[in-house]
Amino acid sequence: MSSSAGGTDDRGRDRGKVLSTAKASQAIGKRSLLPRDWKGPSTWIAAIAFIIIVFSIINPRFASVENLRNVLEQASVPLIIVIGTTLVILMGSIDLSAQGVMGAAGMAWILLSPNSREAIDLGIWAWVIALGLGLSLGLLTGVIYAQLKVPSFVVTLGTWYVGLGLGTLLYGDGLLPSLTNQHLASWPTRLTLGLPNAFWLAVVVVVGGGLLIQYTHLGRGILAVGNNESIARSSGMPVNRIKVSAFALAGLLSGLAGILATMQIGSGSPDIGSGQLFTVIPAAVIGGTALSGGEGGVVRSTLGVFLLIILNNGLILSGVDPNYQSGVFGALLVIAIVAVAWPQRDRLKVAK
């Protein structure tokens, strides 16, 4: 009996929380495109600007238009992935599958586009099928995670290898598939309004991701699940559908990133995503998206990606010996994070 009374009490409390969550969601909805915590990102922008100035003094070529375009093009693939990763992390889950999904989608795309192995060109359908493959892998992850309640860490580790396996099967033991259409291979680098196409594609994804989080039910649902899943559930949110959608979007974006990366080198490989995980997860976390969910956003993750890409590019242009580069990279990263987090240290949760 008492337990049922307790349950009623809990529900009452939960309802109170639900109301406040709903209010918060509405508040988020009403805000401008600027993220909730604009102050944090502004210190990030200052830090990145500072790094840019230092590198420009060391090597003036760093600030050249050519290098700016180079950095923007290099940032495009991780930017596209990080948006999907951020959606998932905002729910308090993690997505490790990006590299495998990239391999599968990239291989599917190149084998259906004009390539040196098969006399086939499905044009737009190559995109549809490859993106569909990414989406399906994401959906599969989402369904297993949400319905079967398997931790996302484990499911996505599995999907990573499923994707890699699909890519390897598609690769087979034939010739290395290369794009025979140079126009297609140079698309990411070609300029539109002075900036590389690859970057414009990333901008579309980043803006889309930002709008999704700020203005859609799905975006608010993702934040609500990240803040407190049981409250979100008891307030009638379709939690499972939100989870599946977030993973499906992440799969779709990894697939898009796989296609772009394949275009950039003009050849297909199941390993096309190699190393990306070590850019996007740190980028999201460094930017301030909490792994526990509910906090952060696409602007922060975007800044995190830029910080990592600019640091790497700047170190190469400054002529740092490759033997020291990893060490210097790590040290600079720690300094940058401490400098940016210092003013906010009182408000930070205990970091474990």
Partner 1 sequence: MAIALTALTLAGYLGASARATASPAPKSDLVMVASVINTTNPYMISNIEGAEALSKKLGIPLKIVDSNGSSQTEISKIDAILASGKTVIMFVNTVASSDAPTIVNDVQTAGGYVTIWWNKPDDYEPWDIGDNFVAFQKIPGVESGRCGADAIGAALLGKGNVVILGGVQDSTTSQTRLAGFQAEMKAKYPNIKILEVRPSNWDPQLANRNAKDMIAKYGSQINAVYSADDAMQIGAMQAFEDAGLLDKVKFASDGLYPKTLADIQSGRGDHAIVGETFHRGYMASSVGLYTAYLAAEDQITPSQLPHEKRDSLFQLSCVTPDNYKQYLKYDDPNAAAQFVDSLVKDGPWNTPPMTLIGGGPEKLPSP
Please name every residue paired with 30 in a beta bridge, in sequence order, or none if there are none. none
Kindly provide the b/e burial profile for residues 158-196, where b requires at least 16 CB atoms within 10 angstroms of the residue's own CB: bbbebbbebbbebbeeeeebebeeeebbebbeeeeeeeb
Our finding on whether 171 is near partner 1 (CB under 8 A) is yes
Residue 157 engages partner 1 in binding (rule: CB under 8 A)? no
Our finding on whether 181 is near partner 1 (CB under 8 A) is no
Amino acid in the structure at residue 74: Q
Per CB under 8 A, 168 contacts partner 1: yes
Site map (CB under 8 A) of partner 1, residues 83-122, x = contact: ---------------------------------x------
Q: Least separation, in Å, of the C-beta of 322 and partner 1? A: 5
Among 140, 261, 281, 336, binds partner 1 (CB under 8 A): 261
240 binds partner 1 (CB under 8 A): no
Minimum CB distance to partner 1 smaller for 178 or for 234 = 178
Looking at the DSSP assignment, which residues form a beta bridge with residue 195?
192
* Nearer residue to partner 1 within complex by CB, 136 or 189: 189
User: Is the Cβ of residue 232 or residue 272 nearer to partner 1 in the bound state?
Assistant: 272
Q: Does residue 254 bind partner 1 (CB under 8 A)?
A: no
Nearer to partner 1, 12 or 275 (CB): 275
User: Nearest approach, Cβ of 185 to partner 1 (angstroms)?
Assistant: 7
Position 264 contacts partner 1 (CB under 8 A): yes
Token pair, residue 252, equals 């779709």
Question: Which of the stretches 35-43, 131-139, 176-184, 332-340 binds partner 1 when contact is defined by CB under 8 A?
Answer: 176-184
- CA dist 291 and 226 (Å) reads 9
Can you name the residues that pair with 191 across neighbouring β-strands? Answer: 196
Q: State the Cα–Cα distance between residues 93 and 85, nearest whole angstrom.
A: 9
How many residues of this chain interact with partner 1, rule: CB under 8 A? 39
Q: Answer yes or no whether residue 56 interacts with partner 1 by CB under 8 A.
A: no
DSSP structure string for 273-337: TTTTHHHHHHHHHHHT--TTSSS--HHHHHHHHHHHHHHHHHHHHTT--HHHHHHHHHHHHHHHH
* Binding of partner 1 by 67 (CB under 8 A): yes
User: What H or E segment, with its residue span, contains residue 123?
Assistant: none
Q: Does residue 73 bind partner 1 (CB under 8 A)?
A: yes
Task: Report the chain's C-alpha Rg in angstroms.
Answer: 22
Of 290 and 332, nearer to partner 1 (C-beta) is: 332
245-277 as b/e: b if 16+ CB within 10 A: bbbbbbbbbbbbbbbbbbbbebbbbbebbeebb
What residue ranges bind partner 1 (CB under 8 A)? 59, 61-62, 64, 66-67, 70, 73-74, 116, 167-168, 171, 173, 175-176, 178, 182, 185-186, 188-189, 261, 264-267, 269-272, 274-275, 313, 316-317, 319, 322-323
